[in-house]
């Protein structure tokens, strides 16, 4: 009976159940929490929920007062959306705390029915400090993730269902409206947008596959060569090959951009000395894509090399000795012993590298900036990936709704590929094998 009464009182108002259970300090703190929530929600809850539902109904406008024009402030759709989203998240947190308050009161009341004394405030603090300390420390970063990571993601998703773009729907002069799935429909069906999307999407997938494969197997080749018994000065070779990765990528890519400059780049200058013409490294679409993959190998192979070197040193030597006894060739030892161990240990990293290459903004932006230009594309160049196209749509052309839709598509592609392939790897299925 005490448990039910305590739960009902806590449902009426936070802390009443705790006060009924003679947990006075806890009850007072919960009452203060509810009071603070009421102070926050009363002046803004209805307005913020109305704002996120309607996105406003009165745009800002200029009104002539005498001989002077003055701005009459109206509704700003994006501010209304952000404020509404914050209020919804805070409301969700408050409801969660409210439910926890009811459960706590019920459990304490049920213990009192069994003759167990309710814990004092000091005992509750000691329990949290001793048993729930990790949860306590995780609360602050958890709130940070909620408001600094999850909220921007939700905001981006919401934008994709609006018409927030130039020139017709940019606040505060214009209002933004909810349009449902029209943005996705336009992206996939309108000729100007769909041609760009499918073209950039195709190149993004080709780029991700080639960039991942060349860096991974290039790193595997370099690691195998360094680990050969006849190779001397192994530490020197490892140091030389890791230097491209040790140099900041910004510097490497900008240097590469100057080296491959079609008119004044040193590479074309050297080629001209030997009677070769100047190659369009960054000005021809095909050459620019090949150059991007080549430069990515220079930056990415050292990473794969270091990872695979660690795996090679962990392979039991007995396996190679047994293969020698059986008369296996070098290729057979590589195919039967080395490659399965390397793939087993690095498959999750390989999936991560593929996902990273889909979003490899730095290399494309700093090396080619998505160029050369493509007259058939909408706000995109021939080497643009989905992520660099998204960047241009957002910062250069204010097509925020289209950029948000593309961001959602990128997330779906990467999440689907990563989850499916990771669950199919032996590293996931046989994770106890190497323990």
d(CA 169, CA 153): 21
d(CA 160, CA 337): 49
159 CA to centre of own chain: 17
Quote the pTM value: 0.81
What H or E segment, with its residue span, contains residue 72?
strand 68-72
Q: What is the pLDDT of residue 271?
A: 82
d(CA 62, CA 31): 47
Write out pLDDT tens, residues 289-310.
Answer: 999 999 999 888 888 888 888 8
Tell me which of 73 and 36 has the higher pLDDT: 36
Taking residue 224's Cβ as centre, other Cβ atoms within 10 Å add up to 17
Q: Which long-range contacts (CB under 8 A, 24 or more apart) does 109-112 make?
A: 109/2, 109/3, 109/4, 109/5, 109/6, 109/7, 109/17, 109/20, 109/21, 110/2, 110/3, 112/2, 112/3, 112/21
According to DSSP, residue 373 is labeled B
What confidence tier does 435 reach under pLDDT thresholds 50, 70, 90? very low
Q: Strand, coil or helix: what is 283? A: coil
**CA distances (Å), origin 143, targets 38, 93, 134:** 20, 10, 15
Write out pLDDT tens, residues 75-107.
Answer: 888 899 999 999 999 999 999 999 999 888 888
d(CA 13, CA 79): 32
Residue 243 pLDDT greater than 90, yes or no: no
Report residue 61: phi and psi, to 5°.
-155, 160
The answer to whether the bond into 61 is cis (omega within 30° of 0) is no
Q: What is the pLDDT of residue 171?
A: 80
Residue 155 pLDDT greater than 80, yes or no: yes
d(CA 196, CA 190): 10
Both tokens assigned to 49: 């929920």
What H or E segment, with its residue span, contains residue 382?
none
Write out pLDDT tens, residues 47-79.
Answer: 999 999 998 888 777 666 666 666 678 788 889
Write out pLDDT tens, residues 179-224.
Answer: 888 889 888 888 888 899 999 999 999 999 999 999 999 988 888 8
Tell me which of 366 and 249 has the higher pLDDT: 366
Q: What is the pLDDT of residue 93?
A: 93
What confidence tier does 434 reach under pLDDT thresholds 50, 70, 90? very low
**Which of 113, 109, 129, 133 is CA-nearest to residue 121?**
129
Tell me which of 425 and 349 has the higher pLDDT: 349
d(CA 146, CA 390): 24
Average pLDDT over the chain, rounded to an integer: 85
d(CA 206, CA 328): 36
d(CA 239, CA 302): 10
Asked if 420 and 402 count as a contact pair (C-beta separation under 8 A), the reply is no
Residue 375 pLDDT greater than 90, yes or no: no
Q: What is the pLDDT of residue 309?
A: 85
């Amino acid at each position: 009976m005490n448990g039910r009464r305590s739960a009902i009182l806590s449902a009426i108002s936070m802390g009443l159940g705790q006060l009924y259970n003679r947990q006075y300090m806890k009850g007072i703190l919960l009452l203060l929490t509810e009071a603070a929530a009421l102070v926050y929600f009363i002046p803004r809850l209805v307005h913020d929920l109305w704002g996120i539902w309607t996105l406003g109904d009165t745009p800002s406008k200029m009104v002539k007062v005498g001989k002077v024009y003055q701005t009459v402030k109206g509704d700003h759709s994006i501010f209304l959306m952000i404020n509404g989203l914050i209020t919804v998240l805070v409301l969700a947190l408050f409801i969660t705390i409210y439910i926890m308050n009811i459960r706590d009161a019920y459990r304490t009341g049920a213990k009192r029915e069994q003759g167990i004394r309710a814990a004092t405030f000091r005992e509750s603090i000691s329990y949290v400090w001793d048993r729930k300390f990790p949860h306590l420390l995780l609360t602050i970063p958890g709130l940070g993730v909620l408001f600094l990571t999850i909220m921007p993601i939700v905001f981006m998703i919401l934008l994709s269902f609006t018409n927030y773009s130039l020139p017709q729907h940019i606040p505060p002069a214009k209002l933004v409206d909810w349009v449902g799935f029209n943005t996705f429909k336009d992206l996939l069906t309108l000729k100007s947008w769909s041609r760009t999307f499918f073209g950039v999407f195709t190149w993004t997938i080709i780029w991700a596959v080639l960039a991942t494969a060349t860096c991974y197997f290039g790193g595997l080749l370099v690691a195998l060569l360094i680990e050969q018994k006849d190779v001397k000065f192994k530490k020197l070779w490892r140091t030389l090959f890791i230097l491209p990765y040790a140099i900041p990528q910004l510097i490497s890519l900008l240097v590469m951009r100057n080296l491959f400059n079609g008119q004044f780049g040193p590479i074309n200058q050297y080629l001209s000395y030997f009677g070769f013409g100047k190659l369009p490294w960054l000005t021809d679409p095909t050459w620019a894509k090949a150059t991007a993959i080549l430069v990515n190998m220079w930056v990415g192979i050292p990473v794969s090399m270091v990872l695979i070197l660690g795996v090679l040193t962990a392979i039991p030597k007995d396996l190679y000795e047994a293969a020698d006894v059986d008369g296996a060739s070098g290729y057979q030892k590589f195919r039967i012993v080395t490659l399965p161990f390397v793939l087993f240990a690095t498959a999750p990293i390989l999936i991560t590298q593929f996902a990273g290459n889909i979003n490899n903004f730095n290399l494309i932006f700093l090396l080619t900036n998505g160029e050369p230009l493509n007259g058939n594309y909408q706000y995109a160049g021939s080497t643009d990936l989905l992520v660099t196209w998204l960047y241009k749509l957002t910062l250069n052309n204010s097509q925020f709704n289209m950029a948000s839709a593309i961001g959602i598509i990128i997330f779906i592609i990467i999440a689907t590929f990563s989850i499916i392939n990771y669950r199919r790897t032996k590293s996931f299925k046989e994770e106890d094998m190497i323990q």
